[in-house]
Amino acid sequence: MCINYRPTDAELLEAMTGLPAAGLPPWKAEVWQDYPAPILRAGEAGRSQLLLATYGMVPKRRAPPGVAMSTMNARAETIGQKRSFMGAWRKTQTCLLPTQWFYEPNWESGRAQRWAIGMADGEPFYVAGIWRSWADEEGGETYSFTQITVNADDHPVMKHFHKPGSEKRSLVIIPRDEADAWLQVDEPERARSMLALYPAELMKAWPAEKDYGRK
């Protein structure tokens, strides 16, 4: 699963979406659990909307006392059955995560080395997600999101990551020409039909500049 990624910066975000990012609070260059990051979702009258949401469908502060939860990734196979995700999935609260690249552990050297995965042409891309809202103490709303993953045991790029013998998973990358369709989807099974592996020849992977333990 992915637990860390690099979102696009504000300039790239505006170029990708055609929407202004000036009103958004700043976000960090690397996102981990509970960090805020920009997401794109369907707004009113079919218009797309940018907002800041926290990574992980159930923020740590919202988890039951004494319960450690990891909701940064939702498996496509069970997204409609897991309590953390089922409400947003059944309402098709889809979103897109503007991404420069994401990180995964490569164990082929015998230890976990941090690798980055992105597009072969270096361009930013969209990762499929779902979002939900939370009532805050002031009567407003905050937002959170999760990324969606699919099996990648046979994918030429993604099969190189995670521990030997473990299932390989990949984030779902939504092509730019399908972005509006993903945001406007109105039925869970239609959304499910869009959850596919991205073509390996359009992707690349490389050792990350910072390894694990050096955030």
User: Distance between CA 63 and CA 119 in Å, rounded?
Assistant: 35
Report the pLDDT value the prediction gives residue 10, as an integer from 0 to 100.
96
Per-residue pLDDT reduced to its tens digit, 26-84:
999 999 999 999 999 998 777 899 999 999 999 998 888 877 789 999 999 999 999 99
Max intra-chain CA distance, the chain = 52
Q: What is the pTM of this model?
A: 0.94
The per-residue pLDDT of the chain, averaged, comes to: 94
155-174 pLDDT, tens digit each:
999 999 999 999 999 999 99
Strand-pairing partners, residue 40, are: 50, 96
Tokens 């009258």, located at residue? 45
Read off the pLDDT band of 215 (50, 70, 90). very low
CB of 71 within 8 A of CB of 110?
no
Q: How far is CA 27 from CA 34, 38, 118, 146, 202, in A?
A: 12, 8, 20, 17, 27
Q: Mean pLDDT lowest for which of 9-13, 76-80, 155-159, 206-210?
A: 206-210
